[in-house]
Amino acid sequence: MTIVILDGYALNPGDLSYDRLQQFGTLKVYDRTTPEQVIERAKDAYALLINKVLLGEKEFSQLPHLRYVGVQATGYNVVDVEAARRYGITVTNIPAYSTDSVAQMVMAHLLGITQNVGYYAQQNRAGRWGANPDFCYWDTPLIELASKQMGIIGLGRTGSAVARLAQAFGMRVAAYTSKPQSELPEGVDKVSLDELFSTSDVVSLHCPLVPATQGLVNAERLAMMKPTAILINTARGPVVDEQALADALNRGVIYAAGIDVLCEEPPRGDSPLLKARNCFVTPHIAWATIEARTRLLDICEANLRAFCEGHPQNVVS
């Protein structure tokens, strides 16, 4: 069996090893693959492992040996699963590997915005504190989280982990979720979407990208928020209308935003959030701790083994 990894660098820039996958057959690893290179590189593959490489009817029709696609991520919108079914190709994903890391990034953004640690550390490297006449100084708002409301949209594994961390900081937690109140964790109140936007001090997005959630955070909903509110997005970029958010930040409609995902990645230079007021953008790294990536590779191996043994797991096709 020939196994081909088409964009291996994302998961493993050199601090992990794909060697364990050689137990299943001949392994070929490419750091990055352009759309024009997919067919040539995958032509002999029985199993393909991908992260962001697009696979659909065009590719499947030219890959007669292909029987398995392992998406090395939770989201699998890069694969046309309907086309995969027609060609008898099993597609799997990697669920729940980065829950704690993503929840940690939510709080990192929130603490970065409320405490401005990086800003003050950089100021003091330049001598600001040493030149100050008083024993301390601050020239930005410093915000205490205790008693503030965290509004969570989507209360799956990651949303629930964020709820626990928020409660540990003494925050009240409200959630917009399909789950009934009786199934929510203790101390989490189910609210409507409009109520969540209008009453929360922090809104954190943890919903999947589906037609109903595309552009969920738009100008109308941003206008409902408090002028002191903070928006955090570690879900998917298109859940947010980026121009509407940039306008809201620049006009002071809301206070700040912490963003780890964008509609286009990597972004163009004119991406509106890159220069928006009080907008802190990280390059889609919430998932990328060494611990989360190790779990991802473990599950990737387990998925491939289960497929080879005839009882595939985490199937999305």
Active-site amino acid positions? 236, 265, 284
Burial (0-12, 13-18, 19+ Cβ within 10 Å), 20? middle
Sheet containing 172-176, strands listed edge to edge, beginning at the edge strand earlier in sequence:
188-190, 172-176, 149-153, 202-205, 230-233, 256-259, 279-281
Q: Which residue in 245, 283, 246, 244 sits closest to 262, CA to CA?
A: 283
Strand partners, 151: 174, 203
| Those residues with Cβ within 8 angstroms of residue 40's Cβ, 6 or more apart along the chain or in another chain | none
Task: Report the Cα 186 to chain-centroid distance in Å.
Answer: 26
Q: Give the H or E element holding residue 47.
A: strand 47-50
Contact 272, 78 (CB under 8 A): no
